[in-house]
Structure 1
Amino acid sequence: MVSSACEGSSSPDSGIPPEMLHHYTSGDHDEDLTDADSAYGDDSLIGDDTKTLSTYITDYRYEFGRRYHSYRDGAYWGPNDEVANEQQDIAHHMYFLTLDGKLHLAPISNPQEILDVGTGTGIWAIDTADEYPSACVTGVDLSPIQPPFVPPNCVFEIDDITLSWTYPPNSFDFIHVRELFGCIPDWDKFFRECWHCLKPGGYIEVVEHSVQPIADDATMGPNHFYNEWGRVVVESGERFGKTFKIWEESASRLKKAGFVDVIEKQYKWPMNGWSPDPKLHELGRWNQFRLHGGIEGFMLRLLTTTLGWSYESAQVHLAQMRAALHDYRTHAYLPGTVVYAQKPRIPTPLRDI
């Protein structure tokens, strides 16, 4: 991948902007490829023409009526169809409410280069580009599901951020990470990549929530279905090799990677509108709506492919969750964290990635 340019233009042949077709390289950044390396490595797309790449990227996989990404097939558990995309935008609204009308909490000032990792529909990147018109905002994702008309200072790239990054060092003022739970096989390596590509003094922000509902009172007993739900999701992440528990690990892992001034803010998303608190009540209403319509996309591939359940067993499990979401007597919620940290202005040398 080369450094992003906000003035990129679309290709009339493929319908996908050339800058979206960049690819992470594997191995050392400075590896010298000669003519003998004609394959560019088994995982490289270098050498393929843009039209072929665009066809490959949009040749989606369909499972049980849901559409999934084709590039790096199987790397992500969620579908990329319209139903799933709507759920992502609902979650964006919920985060906006959670942060009291802010797009982030990191105290960035006059940023010029911003990276949104796992941008999804691109809604955060687009809103951030509007908020910082002098900045170039780059969103990167496995799926080309972002809208074609975006602010001129916003670009999108199709890439797998779990592979070795080839952004130049010290490239970004701010890196935004949100809802990458179950997506990263090695979070320590991922945060070292972020550290490497942030400018000295730049910020990273990681926004994640738990997948295990809990309650602060006795309304959620040990036999409540929410306990089974959380256990199954966590187990599926362990089998998949990508944890869903990063929300409680972000702060310690950022410190381990060399970031300083690590600040953690906690939040709660009620499972429905049980809370009398106006803000939590509103968040709970949205969370119930989001989960009721989105749990199939959230869990279907994990249940059937990762855990090996039958489609019918998976649907029974999902139906039990939808039923539980209607129980206002249970005061359950999903805990979450917003963690932001800074790369030292005079950074110490980074360990090899």
Structure 2
Amino acid sequence: MNFDPFNELGGGSALRFDEGQFFSSIQDDYCLPVASHSPETERLDYIHDVYKYHAGNIPDEVAILLSDGRPRRILDVGCGTGRWALEMIEAFPNIHITGVDLAHPPITVFPPNFSFEIHDVTKGQEYEDDVFDVVHVRDIHAGMPDYHAMLTECVRVLRPGGYLLVKEIEWVPAVLDGSDAQERFPAICAILGSFRNALSERFLDPLVGVNLESYVDNVSGLCDVHYSRHMVPMTPWSDDPILNYTGQMTRLAMAILGGTMRIMLLDHGESDPDGRYAAGIEELRDLLGQPIWYFGSVVARKEGELSDPEPDAELEGYSQEMDEGKDETGWIRDED
């Protein structure tokens, strides 16, 4: 499939191009780089590893469900680079994942059980009720003016007994010892504060990650809701192997984040976002400061009992059609 990155957004919106990066237009709620273009691809994959090492791709109860050998449907809302979906399909070959996002992921070869659709989920989900066994949502608050409505739609398309999985970042730096982060790291706190204000100007909630538990609690039709909050080093200051690794991944992601936020900060009125961000990054060279950040994670079930999936002629036909187009890898090359 050949695609024009200037025509990838739902509703025919254009993307803006700035110093080698594609961005959504000022009229759109989402004004960050498209996941299919480097270095944003790298930043999202670094953060993917952080989430995976701290919270896992899925919780144990979902892994048990997906290991029963039955065909299971998963919706990946805001699939980004597609990294989560690809790892899930490798681990559970019986599943089929539908990924949706504003722009094509940086994938040229698709497994036969991974389909992608360009769709603006702020306009609701384009699926019937009770379709998916699992709905996965991660870090889409930066383009979601009504986060509650988005979650409500995710629950609608879940089958009774199915699982809703949500992760969202908190844009509020902290210090491990509990001291005042703004005193210890004033520059990085200030620039991230400007980013939160820029999100608010677009009628977006920059504190979805902080208030994630409350958001999910206010969605009807869910039960067995479990919330967890995960601490992550911003730099590799820890001697713990996992924390050191996720600190390295965060530092790599932070090096890219300035470019990610650049257009939104310029629209916010920042005259020198690059210089201000560089000052913040310089603060983080001090590993003794032990800066940290958090993300929230929710696992919940839709009320009702999850029945065995019915045979799906459409899915079987899709798989058979894809088999005919496989290359030597056994996957599907995405091209005309």
Shorter-chain TM-score above 0.5? yes
Give RMSD over aligned pairs: 2.4
Code of the residue aligned with 2:236 in structure 1: it is G
Cα distance in 1 for residues equivalent to 2:114 and 2:97: 5
With normalisation by structure 1, the TM-score equals: 0.76
- Whether 1:315 aligns to 2:315 is no
Q: 1:75 aligns with which of 16, 26, 29?
A: 29
Matched, 1:142 2:102: yes
Q: Calculate percent identity across the aligned residue pairs.
A: 26
Counterparts of residues 94-105 of structure 1 (less than 5 Å): 94-99=50-55, 102-105=56-59
Q: Which amino acid aligns with 2:233?
A: P
Q: 1:50-99 CA deviation, whole Å, 9 max, x = no partner?
A: xxxxxx68x642134422247x9633121122111111112112222223
Q: How does 1:243-282 map to 2 (within 5 A)?
A: 243-258=205-220, 259-282=222-245
- Name 1:228's counterpart in structure 2: 190
Helix, strand or coil: the match of 2:61?
Answer: coil
Deviations 1:301-321, CA, capped at 9 Å, x for gaps: 22011x1223xx111111112
1:62 is aligned to 2:8 = no
Cα separation, 1, equivalents of 2:124 and 2:295: 28
Partner amino acid for 1:130?
Answer: E
Is the counterpart of residue 287 in structure 1 residue 250 in structure 2?
yes
Structure 1 unaligned segments of length 5 or more: list them: 1-9, 24-42, 44-55, 348-353
Letter in 1 for 2:284: L
Q: Does structure 1 retain, via aligned residues, the 8 Å contact 2:138–2:167?
A: yes
**Secondary structure, in 3 states, of the residue corresponding to 1:334?**
strand
Distance 1:275 1:290 in 2: 17
Alpha-carbon distance in 1 for matches of 2:223, 2:109: 37
Higher helix share: 2
Q: CA deviation at 1:22?
A: 11
TM-score, structure 2 length as denominator? 0.80
The residue aligned with 2:304 is 345
Higher RCO (C-alpha 8 Å, min separation 6): 2
- Cα distance in 2 for partners of 1:131, 1:269 equals 25
Counterpart in the other structure of 1:154 = 114
CA distance in 2, matches of 1:286, 1:332: 14
Q: Number of aligned residue pairs: give it.
A: 291
CA distance in 2, matches of 1:262, 1:128: 22
1:106–1:340 contact (8 Å) kept in structure 2: no
1:286 maps to amino acid: M
8 A contact 2:9–2:103 mirrored in 1: no
**Unaligned stretches of 5+ in structure 2?**
307-336
Q: Displacement, 1:148? A: 2.1
Structure 1 residues 160 and 221 mapped into 2: Cα distance closer, same or farther (>3 Å)? closer
Tell me, yes or no, if structure 1 residue 89 matches structure 2 residue 48.
no
User: Do the aligned residues in 2 keep the contact of 1:168 with 1:197 (CA within 8 Å)?
Assistant: yes
| Partner Cα separation in structure 2 for residue 22 and residue 61 of structure 1 | 11
* 8 Å CA contact 1:135, 1:153 repeated in 2: yes
Alignment match, 1:27: none
| Superposition deviation, residue 132 in structure 1 | 2.1
Find the aligned partners of 2:22 and 2:189 in 1 and give their Cα distance. 29
Match for 1:260: what amino acid?
C
Give the 3 Å change call, closer, same or farther, for CA 167–304 of structure 1 in structure 2.
Answer: same
